[in-house]
Amino acid sequence: MLTGSVLALAIAAVGCARGVDGRGGGGASDLGVGAGGNGEASDLGAAVDFAGGSGAQDLATGGGADLAIGSGGAQDLATGGVITGGPCLSGASGATGIRVRWVDSGGTATVQYEAFGMPDHSREKVGAYGYQIGFTPSFVDPFLGDGGLLLDGSDFVDVELSGVGIASIGSATLAIYGRSYDTTTSGSFSWQSFSDSGATTDDFVSNVAPYRWYAADIGNTVAPGDGGVRVRIKAGPSSEALVVHRIEICLAAQ
């Protein structure tokens, strides 16, 4: 049997544990330890675990962040929030809104869709279009790299998306994987939508193989809530010609 002094110490220990539990905002039982709730020995064990074991670690590494920002948690915020297309191959922050690559179909560049993570799937289209009737997208450069679409003064790429389901965008990145198609000089690219536009610096894209990712911050080009986003991509100086194997738009959005 417990003596009076030992029993008093046990009750004080349980009371102290519940005081820590209250300041932490979650409770030992919330962390999945100790479900007694009536001052039982299991509650005291939960308090010890919470103080020095997995409970404290959960709050330090993720549990607290989940409580602070909602059901998504810190990890969702870091990787894209409502964007669900997975990590960006370009290394950009956020997650993949859309990624496509261009494959060779008998000399014609054809789009293949690799990832799509926008909340609204009503618009999901990428295409290369020319300024002349009868334009056919050309697949070039199959020997110095993976090959890809010839993007030059004769054509442009349109990426059609919907921003419905997005309340705010923390970062937006447009990236291409390829090189300048002029072997003597580097190139660049520009973008334009109804809500924003911009361009990389001249000679941003190297003309030297192997292919690399070239990423640029595109600001408000993909506008939250806009159901008719159309991002137009063009090649720029100095070469005014690129070979594009992949295109990727990455977003960190809520």
**64 domain residue, yes or no:** yes
* Section 166-170 average pLDDT: 98
Q: Are residues 91 and 197 in the same domain?
A: yes
pLDDT of residue 221: 98
Q: Are residues 31 and 99 in the same domain?
A: no
Q: Are residues 86 and 169 in the same domain?
A: yes
pTM, full prediction: 0.70
- Tell me the pLDDT band of 69, cut-offs 50, 70 and 90: very low
**198 domain residue, yes or no:** yes
Neighbours of 202 (CB within 10 A): 14
**15 domain residue, yes or no:** yes
Q: Are residues 91 and 63 in the same domain?
A: no
Q: Are residues 28 and 145 in the same domain?
A: no
Looking only at the bridges linking them, the beta strands covering 125-130 and 108-116 are: unpaired
Residues 6+ apart with CB under 8 A from 153: 235, 240, 241
Q: Are residues 24 and 91 in the same domain?
A: no
Comparing 54 with 84, the larger pLDDT belongs to 84
**74 domain residue, yes or no:** no
Comparing 186 with 32, the larger pLDDT belongs to 186
**37 domain residue, yes or no:** yes
Q: At what angle do helices 41-52 and 4-24 cross, to 10 degrees?
A: 50
Domain limits at 26? Answer: 4-69
Cα 44 to Cα 22: distance, rounded to the nearest angstrom: 15
Q: Are residues 116 and 237 in the same domain?
A: yes
**58 domain residue, yes or no:** yes
